[in-house]
Amino acid sequence: MNRRTSLMLMGSAAMALLSGCSESFKDGERKKTFSFTPKGPKEFIKDYRKVNDGGFEIPAVPVKKIEPQFLRQRVSYRTKEKTGTIIVDVKKRFLYLIEPNGKAMRYGVGVGKAGFEWNGNAKVGWKRPWPTWTPPEEMIERKPSLRKYSAENGGMEPGLKNPLGARAIYLFKDGKDTLYRLHGTPQWASIGTAASSGCIRLINQDIIDLYDRVKGRPKVVVKQ
């Protein structure tokens, strides 16, 4: 096998894993608690309460167990990108939705593990509330029990255990699906970590908020 073929196979494997968006966070709940100062992100704290959405009851998020910087908040953010652009800062574990007048809505995110990151420019291709999830064949080969969720079987039905959570935003580049998603997760403890197979995950309450704010097919910038 020559070097070019080897690299192509590695890239295909990484992309297949990326499409899974399903690696679980196994470090358990964070035991440390955080206090919120007057300057802390209090504006949206109430949004992390239990939510009834689409026929599902999303549990409340224990916000005191999450580092305050990863909770939703409006921040100052200077950029040349247009209002409505989404910027994902993989290194800092933040997602920014650009607003007018040098402001942005910032969300904490969980990112892909080393070796499965993606970066570059894309556009929102489409959005789905309570999406189905279909594991790629490579993932099914590693875990045959997932065969029941294959494309031929219709995928995993929407719900609280679905890896894509309450919402999914699908990213396209040059008219093609990048297999990269912005999606929800009930695993709030994974926010701020590198725990997935490549996709960007947000707390379910946050992906619902982002989903409602994203209009049309804006540009998405993912930077390492």
Write down the catalytic residue from 72, 106, 181, 183. 183
Q: Which long-range contacts (CB under 8 A, 24 or more apart) does 136-145 make?
A: 136/16, 136/17, 136/19, 136/20, 137/16, 138/13, 138/16, 138/17, 139/16, 139/17, 139/20, 139/22
Closest CA to 209 of 169, 163, 172: 169
R_g over Cα of the chain: 17
For the question of residue 183 being annotated catalytic, the response is yes
Rounded-to-integer distance, Cα 86 and Cα 106, Å? 10
Write down the catalytic residue from 18, 86, 199, 222. 199
- The string of DSSP letters for 63-121 reads GGGS-GGGS-EEEE---SSPTT-EEEETTTTEEEEEETTTEEEEEE-BEEPTT----EE
For the question of residue 18 being annotated catalytic, the response is no
Count of C-beta atoms within a 10 Å radius of residue 123:
17
Catalytic machinery residues: 183, 199
